[in-house]
Structure 1
Amino acid sequence: MSSLPPPQAPLYNHPLPALEQWLRDLGAVQHGPHSCVWDLQLGGWSAQIELEVEELSIRWQSGDTPVERHFPYGFSRADVEAAILAGP
C-alpha cells in the first residue's frame, strides 16, 4: 500500500500506486488490473473516473443526462476529491 502525499499536493506529485489507492479509498472499482478507468457508485449517482495522459476526467451519471468534467493533474487531490464527491 502506498502512502498518500498531503491532500493539498497536486495530483502530479502522486505516484500511480498512490492515485490508485486514493481511488480505492473513495470506493471506486478499477475496470481491470491494468485499466485507467474506475467506477464509483454513491447514492443516486455513479461516476466513471479515467486517469488520462494530461488530466483526470470524470463522467457522472444521474438520470438521463451525463455530466463530464476534466481536471488537470496540477489540481490538488483535495479539490478533485471534493468535486468527485459533490456529484453531478
Structure 2
Amino acid sequence: MSMPSADTPLYNHPLPELESWLRERGCQQDRQELNHWWLEKSNWKAQLWLDTDQITVVYDVDGSEREIQRSFKYSLSRQDVEDAVFGGP
C-alpha cells in the first residue's frame, strides 16, 4: 500500500500509513497508550495524540515554563499538518 499524495486529507490515510508517517518524521509511539506519540527536536519537544477527529499536539519549548497546545483536524491535508506540527511551536 502506498501513501496517498501529500495534498490528501488525513482522514483518507489508513492508520498504518499515518503511523509510518509519524515514525519517518522521528516520532516514537507510547507502548502503553498507542494513540500517544513523542517527538524531540533540538530546541523543543512535543507530545502528539491521535484522537478521534483530530491530532492534538502539546509543545514544550526549552527554557519556557508554559506549554503550547494545538489541534489539527483530520480534514486538513497531510502536507498542511506536517508543515504545522513539525515546524514547531
Q: Same fold (TM over 0.5)?
A: yes
Matched to 1:55, the amino acid is Q
Counterpart residue type for residue 68 of structure 1: Q
Q: Could you say which residue in structure 1 is the equivalent of 2:71? A: 70
RMSD: 1.3
Q: Which blocks of at least 5 consecutive residues in structure 1 are unaligned? A: none
CA distance, structure 1, for counterparts of residue 49 and residue 75 of structure 2: 16
1:13-52 equivalence runs, <5 A:
13-32=12-31, 35-52=34-51
What residue in structure 1 maps to residue 84 of structure 2?
Answer: 83
Flag structure 2 segments of 5+ consecutive residues without an equivalent: none
1:22-41 deviations in Å (ceiling 9; x for gaps): 00000000001761000000
Give the structure-2-normalised TM-score.
0.92
**Equivalence for 2:3:** 4
Query: What SS does structure 2 have at the residue aligned with 1:75?
Result: coil
Distance 1:87 1:34 in 2: 23
Q: How many residues align?
A: 87
Moved over 4 A (4+): none
Distance in structure 2 (CA, Å) of the matches to 1:50 and 1:34: 9
Shift in Å, 1:3: 2.6
Whichever residue aligns with residue 67 of structure 1, its letter is I
Q: Please report the TM-score for the alignment, with normalisation by the length of structure 1.
A: 0.93
